[in-house]
Structure 1
Amino acid sequence: MDIRQITYFLEVAKSNSFTKASENLHLSQPALSKMVKSLEEELKVELIDRSARQIALTDAGEIVFEQGQMIMKSIDDLSTNLYDLLHLKKGKVKIGIPPLIGVLFFPKIIRGFKQLYPDVNIKLIEHGGNKVKQEVEDGVLDLGVVIEPVDEEQFDIIPLLNEELMLFVHSAHPLVHKEIVEMQDLKNEPFILFSEDFSLHDRIIQECIRAGFRPNIVYESSQWDFISEMIGEELGISIFPQSIVKKTDQSLVKAISIVNPSIPWKVAIILKKGKYVSHAVREFIRYISFFCKSNYADQDNS
């Protein structure tokens, strides 16, 4: 059974006439009769009662007519849905982001993308970077936005932006008068870090060890703003990306550049290698890449 057989049979049934159906289909009547007959032979049942002057459907024909209409509607719906998908009238994107990246960049990105594609469903999942990587690898997420470095054998990586990590201290801290600090200057400081499932947690510890000491971690949290408030209460210091400066209360918390070496903070999109990438996901990647180049070009070139 193929679509042409069903299409031709349905036209005959609607027209109650092979002659009218052949005219509507721009097909010769013998060819049309042959096609309907082949459908009856394939189904091993008579669909049309040809004994009367005006043809009529048999009981089996009524069933095939009803089901055939449903089949054709499904095919029409399939074509429409595929068209909508290809032209981004619908679709879905499931993204994993650490809260820090989310609060810095994503509200404007989501708003701009939704204005262009209002019917594409964006689902944001907030996790630490380590968990985002795992869920992209497991196929739970379409993509993740994380901090490099990332395993290039596991993921396809699309760089987004590059800025520096900075030291954040209370405005009364002894280091606040310095324009720059080195990591070794922080060996006796109490650190407030993101919890262990955040990439920045491991990164700061590695940088401290590289500078010759293991950090004294007094508090951990999954919320950047809570960490900022604890700094404001003189409970410790922390290290955040440069962009967080404009999100903090600068009367209480001050940011200082870290040098020798500076610590890059590189944000990238990751996708599982070999995983199918939908049209909606591709367009979202294109949009976020354009957004970051347009809005953070100066930081990328700094």
Structure 2
Amino acid sequence: MDLRQLKYFVEVGKQRSFTKAANTLFLSQPSLSKMVKSLEEELEVQLIDRSGRHIELTDAGHAVYSHAQEILHSMEDLSSSLYDVMHLKKGTVSIGLPPVIGILYFPKIIGDFQKSYPEIAIKLVEYGAKKIEDEVLHGNLELGISVLPVDNELFDVVPFMKDVMTLIVSSQHPLAEKDQVELKELSNEDFIFFTEEFALYDYMLTQCRQAGFEPQIAYKSSQWDFITGLVGENLGVSFLPQSIYEKVNDQKVKKVEIKGKEIPWHLGIVMKKHKYKTFAIKEFISHLLRYH
């Protein structure tokens, strides 16, 4: 068994298709099939069920797929460590950002970092916080920005920013006349929430339930500016972090403080527990913390 066999098998397992995997790996499909078949023969077990229209991993295939990913990620860590020794101040940083967070600081943060380290490539993806944590945990992202708390047994965490949640309503809404409102007063309101892949969805759902009511969710969106637009049209009320609200430039929307209970919104840099951190990652974290 060699690393190339594992790499090819993992790609087939990921794509669930020899054709797609061959295209990704720039191989011919027969060569790829032969390589996977040789791995099965060496392990003396069938890894892929080829009987249907779409290939599926067998039980043994799932087990090998999981361990092969760990082996390949370990080899990537080894390569990164050697690269740091041989090529200081070069490398790549892959970062996951929730869209609601990216607008706050990151254009300037990344711009300033690239000026200082032009040979370090920054790769950005936008996901909800739940997806980011999953991608970091599985080694597909080196670090992510997520809403705290997270599981400290799974992640190394560096606190980054502290904020609080605020209620936003239409300027035509009766609550717009108030400076403060208790959560329980919102029990009959229609709400506009972030979609389920965002940590804010579960977080604010829990806050409402703790206040004694189940929120009536009229709309969901992954875009904070669309949410504020819906609020401005008086289609519901919503919650935003204070720092996000300050980016809103819409006279149709007004913030109302939540009375009696400050609802924190804390962000942190999350990394897979005990995963090797390259020079580039360490430098980016150090740079990032200058802005909090």
The TM-score with structure 1 as length reference comes to 0.68
2:176 aligned partner: 176
CA distance in 1, matches of 2:182, 2:222: 26
Q: Does 1:112 align with 2:112?
A: yes
How far the C-alpha of 1:246 sits from its partner, in A, is 2.4
How far the C-alpha of 1:250 sits from its partner, in A, is 3.6
CA contact (8 A) 2:84 2:278 kept: no
CA distance in 1, matches of 2:184, 2:253: 21
CA distance in 2, matches of 1:144, 1:82: 21
Structure 2 runs not aligned, ≥5 long: 1-81
Structure 1, residues 199-224: CA drift from partner, whole Å, max 9, x if none? Answer: 00000000000000010001111111
1:270 aligned partner: 270
Match runs of 1:18-167 below 5 Å: 82=84, 85-86=87-88, 88=89, 90-167=90-167
Amino acid at match of 1:221: S
2:197 aligned partner: 197
Decide whether aligned partners of structure 1 residues 196 and 265 sit closer, same or farther in structure 2, where only a CA change above 3 A counts. same
CA contact (8 A) 2:163 2:241 kept: yes
Amino acid at match of 1:254: K
CA contact (8 A) 2:231 2:238 kept: yes
Structure 1, residues 55-91: CA drift from partner, whole Å, max 9, x if none? Answer: xxxxxxxxxxxxxxxxxxxxxxxxx9756732x1x21
CA distance in 1, matches of 2:283, 2:155: 19
1:240 aligned partner: 240
CA distance in 2, matches of 1:192, 1:104: 21
2:87 aligned counterpart, secondary structure = helix
CA contact (8 A) 2:97 2:127 kept: yes
CA distance in 1, matches of 2:117, 2:86: 11
Q: Does 1:253 align with 2:253?
A: yes
1:209 aligned partner: 209
Structure 1 runs not aligned, ≥5 long: 1-79, 293-302
Structure 1, residues 106-126: CA drift from partner, whole Å, max 9, x if none? Answer: 111111111111121111110
Bigger Cα Rg: 1
Decide whether aligned partners of structure 1 residues 122 and 238 sit closer, same or farther in structure 2, where only a CA change above 3 A counts. same
How far the C-alpha of 1:249 sits from its partner, in A, is 2.6
1:13 aligned partner: none
CA distance in 2, matches of 1:118, 1:169: 43
2:106 aligned counterpart, secondary structure = helix
CA contact (8 A) 1:194 1:220 kept: yes
Amino acid at match of 2:148: E
Amino acid at match of 2:172: A
2:246 aligned counterpart, secondary structure = helix
How far the C-alpha of 1:284 sits from its partner, in A, is 0.4
CA distance in 1, matches of 2:83, 2:202: 45
Consecutive aligned runs of 4 or more in structure 1 exceeding 3 Å deviation: 80-85
2:279 aligned partner: 279
Structure 1, residues 172-201: CA drift from partner, whole Å, max 9, x if none? Answer: 111112111111111111111111010000
CA distance in 2, matches of 1:165, 1:265: 6
1:41 aligned partner: none
CA contact (8 A) 1:85 1:279 kept: no
